[in-house]
């Protein structure tokens, strides 16, 4: 791609995904200045962080204008659904991430369900309700387990896998009548429970053009063996060989292409990441959800494995020039192990001092996720997911060994991690 002037980039968000995006900008020959809002201490000293919240749309637009930013990369879903990219585009600022019309696919599960059905894309059967009585009537003849979902954004908590009628009824009442998720739960979807291994595909989309990023797999449950409550993600690895080349061809034909075409047919000029959540069922892969941003912690492993400059890909997508991009991937395996605060995704302490090793290997990175700098200048815990310890290796085994070794050198009082990130893949490889 021809690029004369080097760019000034703004990263929106403060988690591990955003630290990864900031690192990609720092390394990119296309970028000469990186700022973040609100950012995190892991980005220092290369990135100037401004205390503007990721949902403060007008504050972010003002910052981008004031700092003469050329390119904005939006990490989380909330500013996308609030129309940040629409506002930046009005100001003539190039941005990576969909406008509000595209982000609606993450913001409304029913909207996505209708889009999937319209385009014959495999997904679980479902019904949607805005009245609890009608939903409960429906549950009387349903088979269990069944899945009850709040239609809108609920910070990853809006999905209840109900083992029986009573649990499902309570979930419906909580969401519609009790408004536990506010307006997000005014409409609920009751969906067939799908069984199989869960994974996701990241697709960078620009209108009708797309590139599929390498495979990866997250670990959503809090405890080892995929037990316990759902979290934002406790670790990820890439590639995930549970999707082989033939399966990927099938996923591209049956899911990716019709999704991209179907979105364009809605009149949406989508320029950003389409994250397709999949359940690999016995009758083939089925779509669980669309997210319209990069996954966290999937980004940490995906971008670390890219040979092609991720900024070049995102810039091309934002400009509508994605067809000129050839994405090259390293042969290495990557793994990210999340160091969380004990108690997450429930209550957990904050403000604990984190100690880091003085140095570590070249192919090892500690991405900050929930950290901040204390008044005394120390890096302290400030979230459920605190750090994403990442390593590359010639095999998944080697990458995992390096990452876990590095995890043992980082400390804070409530440190909690899953010891089995990548274990399913390692067992598959042995089988
Ligand atoms: P979602 O936000 O729709 O992806 O749901 C969050 C999580 O709930 C998913 O990552 C799955 O682990 C689980 N889930 C969602 N829908 C289903 C379903 N139909 N069957 C089984 N599990 C589901
Ligand atoms: N790690 C799952 C997500 O970002 O939604």
Distance 266 CA to ligand 1 centre (A): 25
Mean pLDDT of 156-184: 93
Kindly state whether residue 106 falls inside one of the protein's structural domains: no
Task: Return the best residue to mutate from 202, 298, 388 for the ligand 2 pocket (most ligand atoms within 8 A of CB).
Answer: 298
Which tens digits make up the pLDDT trace of 187-198?
999 999 999 999
The pLDDT score that the predictor gives to residue 417 is 98
Distance 189 CA to ligand 1 centre (A): 12
Report whether 311 contacts 358 (CB < 8 A). no
Instruction: Specify whether the backbone of 182 is left (phi greater than 0), alpha (psi in -120 to 50) or beta.
Output: left
The pLDDT score that the predictor gives to residue 2 is 52
203 and 178 within one domain: no
Mean pLDDT of 129-136: 96
Distance 35 CA to ligand 1 centre (A): 35
Q: Looking at the predicted structure, is the pLDDT value of residue 3 above 70?
A: no
Kindly state whether residue 117 falls inside one of the protein's structural domains: no
Which atom of ligand 1 is the closest one to the Cα of 277? 4
Calculate what percentage of the chain has a pLDDT beyond 70.
Answer: 99
CA 151 – CA 148 distance, rounded (Å) = 9
Which residue lies with its CA nearest to atom 4 of ligand 2?
295
210 and 143 within one domain: no
73 and 163 within one domain: no
Residue 18 preceded by cis peptide, ω within 30: no
Would you give the end-to-end CA distance of the chain in angstroms? 44
Last residue of a domain, one of 186, 216, 251: 186
204 and 315 within one domain: yes
Q: Looking at the predicted structure, is the pLDDT value of residue 245 above 70?
A: yes
Task: Return the best residue to mutate from 15, 296, 367 for the ligand 2 pocket (most ligand atoms within 8 A of CB).
Answer: 296
Which residue lies with its CA nearest to atom 16 of ligand 1?
288
CA 325 – CA 113 distance, rounded (Å) = 31
Residue 45 preceded by cis peptide, ω within 30: yes
265 and 306 within one domain: yes
The token pair at 185 is: 């739960």
Q: Looking at the predicted structure, is the pLDDT value of residue 66 above 60?
A: yes
204 and 169 within one domain: no
Task: Return the best residue to mutate from 112, 150, 161 for the ligand 1 pocket (most ligand atoms within 8 A of CB).
Answer: 161
207 and 320 within one domain: yes
Distance 79 CA to ligand 1 centre (A): 23
Mean pLDDT of 302-308: 98
Mean pLDDT of 36-47: 97
Which atom of ligand 2 is the closest one to the Cα of 236? 1
**Confidence at 4, pLDDT banded by 50, 70, 90:** low
Q: Looking at the predicted structure, is the pLDDT value of residue 1 above 60?
A: no
Distances in Å between the Cα of 74 and the Cα atoms of 110, 112, 302 are: 24, 21, 17
319 and 202 within one domain: yes
**Confidence at 429, pLDDT banded by 50, 70, 90:** confident
Mean pLDDT of 402-423: 98
The pLDDT score that the predictor gives to residue 155 is 81
Distance 338 CA to ligand 1 centre (A): 21
Which atom of ligand 1 is the closest one to the Cα of 124? 19
CA 86 – CA 419 distance, rounded (Å) = 42
Distance 368 CA to ligand 1 centre (A): 27
Distance 122 CA to ligand 1 centre (A): 14
Distance 159 CA to ligand 1 centre (A): 7
Mean pLDDT of 402-413: 98
**Other Cβ atoms within 10 Å of 252 Cβ, number:** 16
Please name the residues in contact with 38: beta carbons below 8 A apart, sequence gap of 6 or more: 14, 49, 50, 51, 52, 53, 54
CA 203 – CA 237 distance, rounded (Å) = 17
The token pair at 321 is: 């020039």
Q: Does 196 contact ligand 1 (Cβ within 6 A)?
A: no
Q: Does 289 contact ligand 2 (Cβ within 6 A)?
A: no
Residue 145 is part of a domain; what is its CATH number? 3.30.1490.20
Q: Does 296 contact ligand 2 (Cβ within 6 A)?
A: yes
Secondary structure (3-state) at 170: helix
Domain with 378 in it: 333-430
256 and 140 within one domain: no
- What total number of domains does the chain contain? 4
Residue 371 is part of a domain; what is its CATH number? 3.90.600.10
Q: Does 233 contact ligand 2 (Cβ within 6 A)?
A: yes
Kindly state whether residue 120 falls inside one of the protein's structural domains: no
Of all ligands present, the nearest one to the C-alpha of 198 is 1
414 and 383 within one domain: yes
**Best CA proximity match to 184, nearest among 156, 147, 220, 161:** 156
Secondary structure (3-state) at 120: coil
Last residue of a domain, one of 283, 307, 324: 324
The token pair at 278 is: 């999949």
The pLDDT score that the predictor gives to residue 126 is 95
Mean pLDDT of 321-325: 95
Kindly state whether residue 397 falls inside one of the protein's structural domains: yes
What does the mean pLDDT of the chain come to?
96
Distance 233 CA to ligand 2 centre (A): 6
The token pair at 195 is: 């069984």
Furthest C-alpha separation in the chain? 64
Which atom of ligand 2 is the closest one to the Cα of 294? 4
Distance 414 CA to ligand 2 centre (A): 23
Which tens digits make up the pLDDT trace of 221-244?
999 999 998 899 999 999 998 899
Distance 74 CA to ligand 1 centre (A): 24
Calculate what percentage of the chain has a pLDDT beyond 90.
Answer: 95
Residue 255 is part of a domain; what is its CATH number? 3.30.470.20
Please name the residues in contact with 44: beta carbons below 8 A apart, sequence gap of 6 or more: none
Kindly state whether residue 126 falls inside one of the protein's structural domains: no
The pLDDT score that the predictor gives to residue 63 is 98
Residue 145 preceded by cis peptide, ω within 30: yes
CA 264 – CA 207 distance, rounded (Å) = 6
Of all ligands present, the nearest one to the C-alpha of 75 is 2
CA 199 – CA 241 distance, rounded (Å) = 11
State whether the Cα torsion 24-307-204-245 is positive or negative: negative
Which atom of ligand 1 is the closest one to the Cα of 194? 20
309 and 213 within one domain: yes
Of all ligands present, the nearest one to the C-alpha of 112 is 1
Q: Looking at the predicted structure, is the pLDDT value of residue 396 above 90?
A: yes
Residues β-bridged to residue 10: 35, 72
Inter-axis angle of helices 109-118 and 100-107, to 10 degrees? 100
240 and 277 within one domain: yes
């Amino acid at each position: 791609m021809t690029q004369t002037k080097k760019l000034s980039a703004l990263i929106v968000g403060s988690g591990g995904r955003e630290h990864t995006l900031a690192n990609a900008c720092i390394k990119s020959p296309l970028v000469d200045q990186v700022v973040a809002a609100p950012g995190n201490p892991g980005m220092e000293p290369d990135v100037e962080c401004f205390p503007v919240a990721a949902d403060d749309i007008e504050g972010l637009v003002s910052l981008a204008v004031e700092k003469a930013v050329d390119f904005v990369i939006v990490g989380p879903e909330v500013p996308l659904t609030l129309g940040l990219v629409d506002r930046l585009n009005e100001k003539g600022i190039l941005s990576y991430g969909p406008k509000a019309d595209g982000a609606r696919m993450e913001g409304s599960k029913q909207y996505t369900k209708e889009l999937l059905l319209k385009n014959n894309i495999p997904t679980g059967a479902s019904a949607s309700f805005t009245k609890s009585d009608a939903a409960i009537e429906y549950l009387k003849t349903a088979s269990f387990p069944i899945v009850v979902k709040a239609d809108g954004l609920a910070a990853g908590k809006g999905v209840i896998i109900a083992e029986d009628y009573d649990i499902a009824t309570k979930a419906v009442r909580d969401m519609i009548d009790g408004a536990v998720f506010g307006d997000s739960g005014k409409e609920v979807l009751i969906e067939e429970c799908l069984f199989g291994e869960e994974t996701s595909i990241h697709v960078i989309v620009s209108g009708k053009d797309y590139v599929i990023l390498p495979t990866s797999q997250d670990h959503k449950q809090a405890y080892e063996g995929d037990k316990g409550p759902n979290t934002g993600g406790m670790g990820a690895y890439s590639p995930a060989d549970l999707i082989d080349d033939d399966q990927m061809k099938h996923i591209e034909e049956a899911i990716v292409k019709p999704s991209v075409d179907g979105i364009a047919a809605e009149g949406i000029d989508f320029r950003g990441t389409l994250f397709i959540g999949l359940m690999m069922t016995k009758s083939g892969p089925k779509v669980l959800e669309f997210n319209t941003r990069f996954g966290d912690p999937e980004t940490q492993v995906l971008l670390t494995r890219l040979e092609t400059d991720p900024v070049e890909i995102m810039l091309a997508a934002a400009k509508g020039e994605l067809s000129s991009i050839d994405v090259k991937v390293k042969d290495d395996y990557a793994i990210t192990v999340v160091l969380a605060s004990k108690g997450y995704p429930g209550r957990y302490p904050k403000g604990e001092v984190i100690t880091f090793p003085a140095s570590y290997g070249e192919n090892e990175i500690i991405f900050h996720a929930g950290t901040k700098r204390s008044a005394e200048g120390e890096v302290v815990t400030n979230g459920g997911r605190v750090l994403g310890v990442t390593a590359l290796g010639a095999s998944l085994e080697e990458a995992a060994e390096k990452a876990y070794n590095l995890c043992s050198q980082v400390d804070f009082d409530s440190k909690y991690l899953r010891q089995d990130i990548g274990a399913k893949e390692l067992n598959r490889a042995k089988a």
